[in-house]
Structure 1
Amino acid sequence: MTPPRNSTAMRDVASVLHPYTDAHAHQKNGPLVITRGEGVRVFDDQGNSYIETVAGLWCAALGFSNERLVEAATRQMRQLPFYHGFTGRTHEPQVELAEMLLERAPVPMSKVFFANSGSEANDTALKMVWYFNNAVGRPEKKKVISRLKGYHGVTIGSASLTGLPYNHKLFDLPIAGIHHVSTPHHYHGAQEGETEEEFATRLATELEETILREGPDTVAAFFAEPIMGAGGVIVPPATYFEKIQAVLRRHDVLLVADEVICGFGRTGAYWGCQSFGIAPDILTCAKALSSSFLPISAVMVNQRVFDGLADGSASLGTFGHGYTYSGHPVPAAVAVETLRIYDELDIIGHVGRVAPVLQDGLRRRFADHPLVGEVRGRGLIAAVEMVEDKAARRNFDPARKVAPRLVALAQDNGLIMRALPGDGIAFSPPLIITEAEITDMLNRFGRALDQLHVELRRESIAAV
């Protein structure tokens, strides 16, 4: 459905370059203009209501209307609308938020550095890894490993860590020193008859062979999302992180956990690390940190990493990294209030109660659908992957744009959805979603999926 060309839409086409958008197609089709939000729903300028099935960008954990967060921002704007953290300055919201994050960390952490997005947080973590190894006298230990289909951001460094082609092509990325190992996706990556545990063993062996090939004295860190988000909502196979971490410990390779999507309850635990037994040296988070009401992200480091950073800053006289808005008091105040609300709502308990409606509902209703190859997920994050051949696990020809077509049909049915690489459709609704709202969402999705099935069958018949 092409949105109507009203004044706002026409001005947008004339003036805005959109992220993750085909710029030529946008000139023709125009934008969907969203005017307000309420709970798990958003509304367009024509008055149409949509359930936001991915919480915007995996991030609006408390939905699209929360007066307490508005009030927290307003109070802080009136008291101290801006101050920075450079050269030892601070303010109460920054300190309180850092203390709250350290109290909630999945493993003991020492300090918190604030940035403005997940990309900046992961870029910062990459720079910290390099800085740390220089400071402790290991200038050759700089190479970093991440995974194919991993997503860590779009800055030059974080986009290099990302393992998706459209984040590299035409940008001259990845930069040197970044290496990618296999995606831990059993459905597509396992060999015939290979169990999840055997698959995990093979991937751990691949990681170790990569480290040994490059030289353990040159490999500094491994970046990983607990559940891979934008690359397909890929849940790691059983024993994967246990085996991966054993390899990293053997070769003294730092582990950076990217909790930008998984953190703050998404997987059913406060952190994705807790869902999969991950003990990181560095942890990055963003998105649900403020329920995305204002931009803020954080990098937590353990004592060992902090000691190296501190020694380096002493030798130079400063830690030469930071952003004008690092620890900005207004987003920090909103994040403090967000964490309080999570505690008061018992957001982990709520996710535990409603997640089975999503996970079991998707599997029960759609796993056997003619278009569906795999349903996967945990907590309130999931994906439905469509395939042309279920037996061969073969996706559709990308030229057919099957997943984007389903997204368009879902929009006609009152859902805003997100297509993933490989004909996947993501589910990551606001954490406050109710059982009834999940059921409504699945009903609408089912109608759209059936409509797509009819369209594809007609195309197949016409092609004969």
Structure 2
Amino acid sequence: MTPPDDAPRFNSAAARDIEYALHPYTNHKAFRDTGPLIIQRGQGIKVFDDSGKGYIESVAGLWCASLGFANQRLADAAYKQMQQLPFYHAFGARSHDPLIDLSEALIQRAPLSTGGKPFSKVFFANSGSEANDSAIKMIWFYNNAIGRPAKKKIIGRVRGYHGITVASGSVTGQPANHKMFDLPIAGFFHVSTPHHYGYAQPGETEEAFASRLAQELDDLIVREGPDTVAAFFAEPVMGAGGVIIPPATYYEKIQAVLRKHDVLFVADEVICGFGRTGHYWGCQTFGIQPDILTCAKQLSSAFLPISAVMISEQLYQGIAEGSDAAGTWGHGFTYSGHPVPAAVALETLKIYDEMEMPKLVATRGAYLQKAMQDRFASHPLVGEVRGVGMIGAIQLSPDKASRATFDPARKLGPRWQALGLEHGVMMRVLVNESAAISPPLTISEPEIDEMLDLIGAALDDLAKEI
């Protein structure tokens, strides 16, 4: 039956959402007509909307719900801590057990820092954006403290994603994070995306492509002046930029350039950390020894907001000297190391240990990667299937031979996502119509098959439409 013309277009909750909420990453003019999809509960790898329909979450929400959408142990950890100490801060040398225990746990699990040395200290924030913003401030403070006030420039990569604060949004290399925000600010630069499929020259091997990108970085540092360039930011695997797997020898060659010019390496492990790539850290998967490591998302399995910055002993010593000269290290957040998220994060790490998460992901990730290749590599609309561990992408192309991309004006990505919703799978289609695959790490092999079948059904429908 067709509803009458005067029937309300949205239910009460949706109407109130349109009236009062300002959503992130949303076209708000269009939103007034489309309204929200309201999610009411979660269980396992699925979330359920207010009509009761379930959706497999193919990207774990925003790459973050590693243990799925319900876990009694994490809920109990939060409740227990709320009963004991619901809040205290870490300003002025104050502390509490969850902050101390989590700091120790992260240092014990951390990869090797620069020169093969252990990381030294941990600073806590509330999001990946804040962690990377804090890292930038640490770098600037450190160089001031050791007498290098000109060494402040920061290098990111085109399509890299490091957050949305003014500073982290500037090192991010995404147009949507720059347009109309007056970003990037001065002193931030970007080098090429390390995507061999998309940007290699005809006949160029992965190794040759990596050498060319390392030379580009070297040339930029020399052109700007090594005494002015402070740090290079990189995700071991680019996430929001399209799930870009680095070409062979890339990080080996990039790190050699950075060491030559005494430029710090910041590894953004916000997506890759805690087993996603088949090792505990993406740095271990790709042979990176950074000066600073940032992490968030899977640190608490996304149950509560928390992020961390781990720094080398060299940086810590500089910050310590600078804080003495300035009278304090004047940086921090009210909720830095908040006891409740810290307690949940600690319980999350215990669960990862019990599940032997890197080993689990290495096995189940191999299954995912093969299943993706088998299901999509020969599809007439697919140009490349790529991935590592439990993260991957399916990139559309109108012509496999030329590796061409579809005109963004056709909006095939949003259409594919919409078809996915109809089939019962939450999708995130990124730049160049690349569908990200990054499900909860607890997903089973039968659930992987079901997820890919639903994504494939949506893709088949898209192929019929175009």
Report how far residue 389 of structure 1 moved: 2.1
Aligned-partner residue type, residue 204 of structure 2: E
Q: Distance in 1 between matches of 2:256 and 2:73?
A: 44
The yes-or-no answer on 1:24 pairing with 2:29 is: yes
Residue matched to 2:40: 35
Q: Distance in 2 between matches of 1:56 and 1:423?
A: 18
The yes-or-no answer on 1:252 pairing with 2:262 is: yes
Matches within 5 A, 1:263-274: 263-274=273-284
Q: Distance in 2 between matches of 1:21 and 1:425?
A: 18
The yes-or-no answer on 1:159 pairing with 2:163 is: no
Report how far residue 261 of structure 1 moved: 0.2
Report how far residue 190 of structure 1 moved: 0.4
Q: Distance in 2 between matches of 1:356 and 1:245?
A: 28
Residue matched to 1:51: 56
Residue matched to 2:304: 294
The yes-or-no answer on 1:8 pairing with 2:21 is: no
Match of 2:88 among 65, 71, 83: 83
Q: Distance in 2 between matches of 1:189 and 1:25?
A: 33
Q: Distance in 2 between matches of 1:395 and 1:101?
A: 41
Q: Residue deviations 1:320-362, cap 9 Å, x none?
A: 0000000000000000000000001111121122112211111
Match of 1:134 among 116, 121, 144: 144
SS in 2 for 1:216: coil
Aligned-partner residue type, residue 320 of structure 1: G
Q: Distance in 2 between matches of 1:7 and 1:343?
A: 44
Report how far residue 393 of structure 1 moved: 1.3
Report how far residue 419 of structure 1 moved: 1.3
SS in 1 for 2:227: helix
Report how far residue 188 of structure 1 moved: 1.1
Residue matched to 1:210: 220
Residue matched to 1:277: 287
Q: Distance in 2 between matches of 1:66 and 1:363?
A: 31
Q: Residue deviations 1:288-344, cap 9 Å, x none?
A: 000010000000000000001101000011000000000000000000000000001
Q: Distance in 1 between matches of 2:165 and 2:140?
A: 16
Q: Distance in 1 between matches of 2:52 and 2:178?
A: 38
Q: Distance in 1 between matches of 2:203 and 2:81?
A: 58
Q: Distance in 1 between matches of 2:9 and 2:165?
A: 34
Q: Distance in 2 between matches of 1:448 and 1:356?
A: 24
Match of 1:61 among 53, 66, 71: 66
Residue matched to 1:242: 252
SS in 1 for 2:432: coil
Q: Distance in 1 between matches of 2:203 and 2:25?
A: 38
Q: Distance in 2 between matches of 1:23 and 1:187?
A: 34
Q: Residue deviations 1:210-240, cap 9 Å, x none?
A: 0000001111000000000001100000000
Match of 1:74 among 71, 79, 84: 79
Q: Distance in 2 between matches of 1:357 and 1:279?
A: 28
Residue matched to 2:205: 195
Report how far residue 40 of structure 1 moved: 0.5
The yes-or-no answer on 1:377 pairing with 2:382 is: no
Match of 1:175 among 161, 185, 188: 185
The yes-or-no answer on 1:438 pairing with 2:448 is: yes
Q: Distance in 2 between matches of 1:296 and 1:429?
A: 20
Match of 1:339 among 346, 349, 370: 349
TM-score, normalising length: structure 1? 0.97
Moved more, 345-354 or 412-421: 345-354
Report how far residue 5 of structure 1 moved: 2.1
Q: Distance in 2 between matches of 1:293 and 1:365?
A: 32
Residue matched to 1:462: none
TM-score, normalising length: structure 2? 0.97
Q: Distance in 2 between matches of 1:8 and 1:359?
A: 39
Residue matched to 1:329: 339
SS in 2 for 1:235: coil
CA contact (8 A) 1:357 1:439 kept: no
Q: Distance in 2 between matches of 1:65 and 1:394?
A: 41
Q: Distance in 2 between matches of 1:297 and 1:285?
A: 6
Between the aligned residues of both structures, percent identity stands at: 64
Residue matched to 2:4: none
Residue matched to 1:460: none
Q: Distance in 1 between matches of 2:46 and 2:69?
A: 7
The yes-or-no answer on 1:230 pairing with 2:262 is: no
Consecutive unaligned residues in structure 2, runs of 5 or more:
1-7, 113-117
Moved more, 219-228 or 386-395: 386-395
Structure 1 runs of 4+ aligned residues shifted over 3 Å read none
Moved more, 387-396 or 266-275: 387-396
Match of 1:145 among 131, 148, 155: 155
SS in 2 for 1:220: strand
Consecutive unaligned residues in structure 1, runs of 5 or more:
457-464
Report how far residue 397 of structure 1 moved: 1.1
Match of 1:121 among 131, 156, 159: 131
Tell me how many residue pairs correspond in the alignment: 454
Aligned-partner residue type, residue 362 of structure 2: G
Q: Distance in 1 between matches of 2:326 and 2:358?
A: 43
Q: Distance in 2 between matches of 1:157 and 1:129?
A: 12
Aligned-partner residue type, residue 245 of structure 1: Q
Aligned-partner residue type, residue 453 of structure 1: A
Q: Distance in 2 between matches of 1:4 and 1:321?
A: 47
Moved more, 357-366 or 33-42: 357-366
Report how far residue 4 of structure 1 moved: 7.2
